[in-house]
Structure 1
């Protein structure tokens, strides 16, 4: 049978469709098979997951039947899960208790009726397992007809953990309460800030410090205890601590109760909770610190003023202070303290500068002295240096492990001590070599020092003095050697006056052997008294001889006075008679005289006049030397008075063809003087000048008053005198031109007026006489 092409095409299409349908059916069947297998696997996996899940589902239908896993039966203590809810009460300590079952039944019914979920926790009787039940109305796709689905959780471990957490929470609440009470009762301000750095909690001390009514008011007002510093508020600094998660501590000043107080403020970040803070009042500590620094500075300032060197080392044996004498003694520069020079290095530098003693093993010596820091006792040493310096070094360990080193230059003191010893030996030698008997008594009256003459002068036994007896004992030994033993009391009074009363007192006493002793008590600067004794026996004898001689001189002076009085009468009376008779002869009473007779009479008159003048000079000089020259002083003008004296010698000046230069004025003033005696003194000097000046010579008379003293100068241009000639003239032994007693008499007359006479002369250069009168 043959088919047409069209039929063949139709059949081909049909076969193709059939093949495609068969293939699709096979693919669909394969897909369903795979899906079924996947569903089985998913169901098995879901069942396994439910078995391994921490919660077990329990389906409770409206008729009370239940569906669940055998795991749940094990949790309830049953061998297998019963068919109905009411059978969960297995009795004998299995399943649920009646009360638990009743409560569960009521909750299930309520959920089935109202679809209200419920929760329940229970512990099956006789079991340690804690179960949590969460019930809901089951989804219709899970169980249509209003069944209830209850998920049962085993939270036994969670319950233990919860119990533990409850205990810890209770303990934490107790600790927190105690901590809050402690913070509230703390004497220092404390606070807590939230993450926004705003105050959340403050304690009572904070409230009192800011002056708020209570903590809530302080938090509400955000009352800050700490003032802004450098433009940063306390909240901003707390924010910095939170951002850096690092605590910030600072010392600031704030006002509390009207007083500025120094506070150490700490901000402590607490993670995400906020920032805690507290402030400790360190004002007293700061004040103590200031006082300590002031005391230290004052102490170091005082130490700088001392002449003793002081250096301080800390516990690390480093130099922290050295005053100027210490640096000078050890040759330290000004930067030694700033460089914290170590003790060992200081000793090494001192050795290089020759400031330590010469030792054989210096490292060992240095180690021994470094051990001073560990010693409990004060160390003292003497350091003789190579340059002759002697140092006294004292090391005082300090409680902080440091050391105070004191260095004193004893060179001068040792030199003074040696000088003192020398002086003491010199004093002893001096005491022993004196002629006087010396003894030194202490204020209590005991004999301290004496010289070798003391015992012999008083006639004492030297062994008695070696016992340093008291004054009463010494006086008791002296009394038998006195002419009047009771006079020993006067010696004791002198000793007492010198030692206790600090007064000088003297006395004289006669010994039994005829010697006379003169003693005196002298207070010494050290509080002791010096008794000096001198044997004046020879002086007494000499004094007696002088008294006898003085009496003889007084008698001779009386004879001399009487002689001068008699001689004045005996000399003047004959001269007056001779002169009177010569004048009568010249007047012609006895008749006319020849020319030669007149010459003789004239010569007699001139001789009488000259002799009269010489007698007057001798008498006046004798009276002046004897202090018997009478002066009738009156107020006289110097210039007119001298002028009259000069004019009286005008004839002699003209006869000698001399030139006279008289100088002066009324400015020379007035003086108190005897016109006759002063005129004689000036006249005598003027007569000597006239006699010593050759023809055509010059005489100068100058009257002045320099510096308030009247002065008369008489000078001539004569031949002058040598020193020997001037000395003889002053003694009244002049040459033919300066004869007699003119110069000595003038000097005596001028000195009787309280003035002075000065003679200046040079050979071939003239002579000058200078009279000065007050």
Structure 2
């Protein structure tokens, strides 16, 4: 029982396994030596005992013989001899007694040795049984190069080979990582006497405990197949290592991503953050962010997360926070567990912008398709109507509730057929299946439908990569009609050209005539045979040259037709023929590299030209009279308007008397309307002065900064009234500008007034000024609705007012005056505007030497 307890203790304590084995081996040797010694002593005792027995027999015989002799002769000599005999007999007797006692002791000691030998043999058997059990195997190497000795076996279910020579091939029955580790550990054990303890996995997912020790110059490696609690402990250890590696791997992964990630303990304190988190809170390292407790989200946001997050319902919402001084939108996810919580934030600002842009783009595309004249219908992946434009509704004349119900494509075709709007087919089912096969087709399908109402449609169906299809119905009725008309037109054109009074000739790129009309041949005095199609221009030149004085006309025509210039130019001129005819010619490039020559008899138009000149002079005189009239009337209107404004201001003063509310309101309306009317009169007067060419510019040198300050003060009331702010951007040290101060202020005030009128309330308009070379640039920008592209060409026209989106409507003279005054300063005005994105007007004013005055006529 004690041996079994020691064996179990040695199994529970693997670190003492090699020492116990060594002690067991030494004890076995000692026991064998003791047994051998006892057997030798026993052999010597039996030899002495046998010798004593022989001596006793000899003594007895001698005594018997001495007694017989005494009977014959009893002398002194006999007495001495008898005494010796008696002494010898006593000694023999004592020896016999001692021998008997020694024999008893030897028998007892022999019995003890046999009992000890039996006990040792039993222990050796038990030890061998323990070593040779089926759940462990020991490999022993002698010091130096030697073959290993194998003791015991491992269970077959571990996958370990039973043959000794195959057991050390660890790579064949262990996992690769475990095989590499055990081979390296055994090498260090035999070479450097470095002990080890490890747990390995076999190819069958079994767990083995391996211990390596050095004792008595031998290297021992013990493989133990674990079971029950120790196997579970080893598996837990391996799982712990895996989890540790996984956590380390996930930490490294989270450190590498761009999204801030954090973990909190049960008290809500930060326990771990990644590098993106530390960058977001502007901390040099994550460790410093933890030490300083820098929070990524605000207090309210954190309280909201803590209040709404539960273990079964993680928090997921979008929140805004400040990152590097910018307000940024994040998609925040936070999960809570009994030991704390963890969260991650994803920057969705750009995604939100893209999503909004996508919505605007889709809406824009839908609006664009809705305004197309071509019918379009889009079906989704389930073949249901997703989009249709107005042209589609007009083409098929379907009820809007039916279309809004998102009918199936097949249902739509059936409805059109039942309404008699589709052509009848011999096999309707096959025709419909062929039409709907576009959803499985790879290429676009094109078909022609001849409708019962006489229309001809080209149907173009395109499948979408993500499912669905787009159907485009191109009405070919007009195209067919146009082709018919074109053919008719070609014939009519030929007849028309033949009956024109102007001479027309068309030449090809090879310089040969393609067609000519009778008027051309009559003007130049050539026959139809001479100008037949295919005649080269050189032949025409030789026929026409004698008719006029000069050699550059037709020769230049020939050069234009046969040169290799990339751009073909138009050409106009006049021929004076010897016959007295005056011909105006025009050379016009045509498509297909053809060229048309047109000759018009201008002889009869000379009188008309003179009449037109006289009429033109009359119109110029009338324009002067108009300018005089406008100027006179403007001056005459200014005086009474000034009086009206003055008396209106006088009525507002308390000295005249108190006015009731309605009278004060009327007085304000009169004052406002009079001021507007005076502004219009002044604008008309300025434009009339410019048109008359009598506008005088008074140049002076003025600081640009003072000019901007004066303009800002004058426009302040209008800005306050419209709830708009003014931002002036100008670099320091702009210096001075030489220009007409009054007109320059008028330009800037008109631009600012126009921008204020269209700027949304609460927004800001920008006045930017900069110098470049010898020019000063003034730019006024607003964030208003912008100017549609079709109106950009007319914004500088007089009395052209675009009041859409503006707070006030005017006479439309402001930008016209700006353009006139900038032109007088030898500058230019440019405008950049897009619908919905505001407007920017830039004026370039040259600055030069100081001059007294410059008239508009100059």
Q: TM-score, normalized by length of structure 2?
A: 0.39
Which of structures 1 and 2 has the bigger CA Rg?
A: 1
